[in-house]
Structure 1
Amino acid sequence: MVTLSTPAFAPPENLASRSMERLALREQATESLRNNGWRLLYTGLTPLRASVTLLDPSESLQISLQIPLTDDVEDWDLWIEACNRQLSVPLRQWLEEQGVEQSTLSRMSGSSNGTAEPLRLSNMLQVARWLQGPIDQIEQLAEQNQCQVVLHLAGLGPNS
């Protein structure tokens, strides 16, 4: 795990307590992912935000959450990014349960003809639905703090 911070950053007293609250929120928001085997890649703290990035167990997906430390920014940024052409087994099983055709799953997972279809944005919408529970938890925490979550999706296709 790598932790990044700005060395010359010395927040005023009230900002220091706000930062501690936001760090606790960052941990709470990502707890369900970590409890389901997601690996912590790094955390960061700057004068403007606290961030965390996690990698799923199959190394197919990466999630980054950025929580602002100041009151003038109300959006939490949540990034879901494909980082491997292979689908994780739990995601593949979930897609099967949703009725995604076997031929589509085979192309997406690379199990047909040895070539994988890139995880395009349309695929990433399915990923976001699969992660609805953790996303709901993050959104609920943001709303409790009078903020909203902005969801960013990045696939592996040329238009993602």
Structure 2
Amino acid sequence: MPSISEITPVAASTDSLACLDCRDQAARTLISHGWQLLYSGSTPQRVTTTLLDPSESLQISLQIPVHHDDDWNLWLEACHHQLSAPLRDWLQSLGVEQGTLSRLSGLENRVNHALDLSAMLQVARWLQGPIQEIEQLAQEHNSQLVLHLAGLGPNS
């Protein structure tokens, strides 16, 4: 009969393969929405992927723990002061005032306006579909998705 130490590496590699599959499935969800894969990686503790939106103004990083007792972490981070055209159009359709859109889109000459928390919440709402798909993946693997938002401000 094999000892525990002989069984654990097989179980660990099975867990790793399942996590790699989840990571790739989550990345495909975003790629199908126009995002570009920047990189994917893995350690014995977690697998990760990072993607960039088409305008290069937002970045998403997903971290999936290999051991299923931890949460999945989805980081949504602003990369530039300006928003992508599709996001700007979506915000406008929600009635966000033109002055705010100009500031968030980088159309104003003022350069010290950062994407603040309220703008990042709007971004999260814009990405609700892909985020829900990733959350469903996490739930199917008995975990939950934790969303982290980071703007460009000094306190983000």
Determine if the TM-score, normalized by the shorter chain, exceeds 0.5: yes
* Corresponding residue for residue 142 of structure 2: 146
- Residue among 105, 111, 117 paired with 1:115: 111
Q: Which residue of 2 aligns with 1:89?
A: 85
The AA in structure 1 aligned to 2:19 is: R
Q: Secondary structure at the match of 1:12?
A: helix
Residue-by-residue CA offset, 1:91-137 (whole Å, 9 max, x unaligned): 10110111100111001112123536211111100000000000000
Are positions 1:155 and 2:151 aligned together? Answer: yes
**Whose radius of gyration is greater, 1 or 2?**
2
Q: Percent identity?
A: 61
How many residues get paired?
A: 149
Equivalent in 22, 25, 32 of residue 19 of structure 2 = 22
Gaps of 5+ in 2: 1-7
Match of 1:77 among 69, 73, 87: 73
Task: Give the distance between the partners of 1:159 and 1:153, measured in 2 at CA.
Answer: 11
Check whether the contact 1:109–1:116 (CA below 8 A) recurs between aligned residues.
no
Q: CA RMSD in A?
A: 1.3
Which of 28, 32, 37 is the aligned partner of 1:31?
Answer: 28
Instruction: Please report the TM-score for the alignment, with normalisation by the length of structure 1.
Output: 0.89
Structure-1 separation of matches of 2:103 and 2:111: 7
| Residue of structure 2 equivalent to 1:137 | 133
- Contact 1:109–1:117 (8 Å) recurs in 2: no
Do residues 66 (structure 1) and 88 (structure 2) align? no
Report the Cα distance in structure 1 between the residues aligned to 2:35 and 2:79, rounded to whole angstroms.
14
Work out the CA distance in 2 between the residues paired with 1:29 and 1:113: 37
Q: Does the CA contact (< 8 Å) of 2:34 and 2:53 recur in 1?
A: yes
2:44 — aligned with what? Answer: 47
Which residues of structure 1 form unaligned runs of 5+?
Answer: 1-10
Q: Secondary structure at the match of 2:72?
A: strand
